[in-house]
């Protein structure tokens, strides 16, 4: 079924062509099915008047490069031609992955891992149905690994085993959806507060759960502006508060000051029994415990839940994450499931049983000391990148507790695609992960410096001002240089 305002449409096979049959007539699908997103591009140093708009139509673009599924011929089993063809497609795809991995800088994934020892498990359908702490009738699971991983994170975030509940999620977004759902169940009439720099999944949760949501302003660093936060709290002081605290924002890598958030709540008259804090630590939630002078995320403070991604800093071949909340809260969500002979309080039904094993394997191999070394390497390399950019006259910013280097957006979309940079408005960023070496950064910098000679020819086009995004002191435009 496809939903539209005031009606439900039966989807026919013609939907593949962007149409739907309704009351015997073929009508175009509503715009919200294939929304057109205008992307403003500045090509090769174009000025404001020369900028072009590229339209991205969701749901259609990938069809130009998809691998079609075709029906086998009658004699395929005899000739083996289909197996050979599929093997060639996969071999070509593997080569493309190797090439794309070489130039992977804009997204927070650690691509430096080797799980060859776990290849022996790929022949099993491992499914962690239901509650990780309750045995179900389904026997092909990895709960023993899942609970081991959860206990490790419980120690990291300082909560006793008998006081927490959690599970291995399918990604960081699921962790946010679950944490905010727990907050909503604890305070059904609560208002959700999240900074404007919060991950889009936080606002997705607000839409899914039909929650009142207040977007809070941010400082130039990307941290939550607690002055604006307090003003919005006072505007809704008759309703409980559910707060998303960012342990590393998506674009700028900013870490919200958890202690100041708690102080602001109490200063606005909210006692601990009237607020719920979810900490979105997708990337930096695992890095910050190993950064000197960094504030601590701990359940010894009045927080309700913490989530991290498993495929980011840890490094994992499939998306996954960890979500931990207080056991006292979970009864509001948990339901008996006779079909499983278990209870369930998760978002998903079936859960990837391989992911906990991959996480368990890495945690055992590296441990706290190994992660500490990798965090120090990332921060050191991030400072190297920032300093090199600034030395070349390129505006750049690096938050103190972050490995995300923000700089002026490159002028060439092909360059952005080549290095897989994440962009927002006039800025882009590189997320320095354990798999990002000095050599890779040098390759990127040399390419960027060479391309800028074309983009910014002397006397023609100058770099744009990005002071509003990264501050006057970090901007390298003609006015702030």
> Which helix H or strand E contains 8, and what residues bound it?
strand 7-9
> Which helix H or strand E contains 23, and what residues bound it?
none
**In sequence order, what DSSP letters do the residues of 199-240 get, joined into one string?**
-HHHHHHHHHTT--EEEEPB-TTS-B-HHHHHHHHHHTTTS-
Percent of the chain with pLDDT over 70: 84
Tens-digit pLDDT profile for residues 6-33: 333 333 333 333 333 444 444 443 444 3
Q: What is the CATH number of the domain that holds 318?
A: 3.40.640.10
Sign of CA dihedral 375, 160, 176, 233: negative
Residues 257 and 406 in one domain: no
Tens-digit pLDDT profile for residues 79-105: 778 888 889 999 999 998 888 888 888
Q: In what order do the strands lie in the sheet with 427-431?
A: 396-398, 404-408, 427-431, 422-424
Residues 307 and 377 in one domain: no
**In sequence order, what DSSP letters do the residues of 63-87 get, joined into one string?**
GGG-----PPPTTHHHH-HHHHHHH
Residues 252 and 158 in one domain: yes
Question: Residue 392 domain-assigned?
Answer: yes
Residues 132 and 179 in one domain: yes
Question: Residue 443 domain-assigned?
Answer: yes
Please compute the mean of the pLDDT values over residues 162-173 and round it to a whole number. Answer: 95
Tens-digit pLDDT profile for residues 285-308: 999 999 888 889 999 999 999 999
Question: Residue 329 domain-assigned?
Answer: yes
DSSP structure class, residue 290: G
Q: What residues contact residue 441 under an 8 Å CB cut-off, 6+ apart?
A: 381, 384, 385, 388, 430, 432
Residues 359 and 384 in one domain: no
Tens-digit pLDDT profile for residues 352-381: 999 999 999 999 999 999 999 999 999 999
- CA atoms lying within 13 Å on the CB side of residue 203: 10
Catalytic residues: 402
> Which helix H or strand E contains 389, and what residues bound it?
helix 354-391
State which of 345, 365, 385 marks the end of a domain: 365
Supply the pLDDT for residue 3. Answer: 37
Tens-digit pLDDT profile for residues 44-78: 444 444 454 556 665 566 656 778 888 887 776 76
Question: Residue 164 domain-assigned?
Answer: yes
For tokens 């998506």, what's the residue?
A: 250
> Which range marks the domain in which residue 470 is found?
367-474
Cβ contact 402:382 at 8 Å: yes
Query: Alpha carbon of 103 to those of 88, 259, 391: distances in Å?
Result: 24, 38, 22
The model's pTM: 0.84
């Amino acid at each position: 079924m496809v939903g539209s305002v005031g009606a439900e449409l039966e989807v026919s096979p013609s939907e593949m062509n962007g149409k739907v049959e309704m009351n015997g007539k073929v009508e175009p699908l509503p715009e919200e099915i294939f929304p057109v997103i205008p992307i403003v591009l500045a090509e090769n140093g174009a000025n404001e008047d020369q900028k072009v708009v590229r339209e991205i139509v969701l749901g259609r673009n990938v069809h130009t490069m998809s691998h079609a599924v075709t029906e086998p011929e009658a004699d395929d089993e005899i000739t083996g031609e289909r197996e050979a063809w599929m093997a060639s497609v996969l071999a070509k795809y593997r080569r493309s992955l190797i090439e794309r991995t070489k130039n992977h800088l804009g997204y927070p994934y650690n691509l430096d891992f080797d799980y060859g020892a776990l290849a022996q498990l790929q022949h099993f359908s491992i499914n962690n149905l239901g509650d990780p702490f309750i045995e179900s009738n389904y026997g092909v699971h990895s709960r023993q690994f899942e609970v081991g991983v959860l206990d490790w994170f419980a120690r990291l975030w300082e909560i006793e085993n008998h006081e927490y509940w959690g599970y291995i999620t399918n990604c960081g977004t699921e962790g946010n959806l679950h944490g905010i759902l727990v907050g909503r169940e604890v305070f059904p009439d609560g208002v959700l507060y999240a900074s404007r720099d919060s991950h889009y999944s936080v606002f997705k949760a607000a839409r899914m759960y039909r929650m009142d949501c207040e977007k809070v302003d941010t400082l130039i660093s990307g941290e939550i502006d607690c002055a604006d936060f307090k003003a919005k709290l006072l505007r809704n002081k008759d309703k409980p508060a559910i707060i998303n605290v960012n342990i590393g924002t998506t674009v700028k890598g900013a870490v919200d000051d958890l202690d100041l958030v708690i102080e602001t709540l109490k200063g606005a008259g909210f006692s601990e029994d009237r607020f719920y804090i979810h900490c979105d630590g997708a990337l930096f939630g695992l890095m910050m415990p190993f950064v000197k002078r960094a504030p601590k995320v701990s359940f010894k403070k009045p927080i309700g839940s913490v989530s991290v991604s498993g495929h980011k800093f840890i490094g994992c071949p499939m998306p996954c994450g960890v979500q931990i909340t207080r056991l006292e809260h979970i009864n509001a969500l948990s339901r008996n499931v006779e079909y499983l002979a278990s209870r369930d309080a998760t978002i998903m039904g079936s859960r990837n049983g391989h992911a906990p094993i991959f996480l368990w394997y890495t945690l055992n191999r590296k441990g706290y000391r190994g992660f500490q070394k990798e965090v120090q390497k990332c921060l050191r390399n991030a400072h190297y990148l920032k300093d090199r950019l600034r030395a070349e006259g390129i505006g750049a910013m690096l938050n103190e507790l972050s490995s995300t280097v923000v700089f002026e957006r490159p002028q060439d979309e092909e360059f952005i695609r080549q290095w897989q940079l994440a962009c927002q408005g006039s800025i882009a960023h590189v997320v320095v992960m354990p798999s990002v070496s000095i050599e890779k950064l040098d390759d990127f910098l040399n390419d960027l410096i060479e391309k800028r000679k074309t983009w910014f020819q002397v006397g023609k086009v100058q770099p744009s001002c990005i002071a509003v995004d990264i501050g006057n002191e970090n901007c390298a435009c003609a006015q702030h240089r």
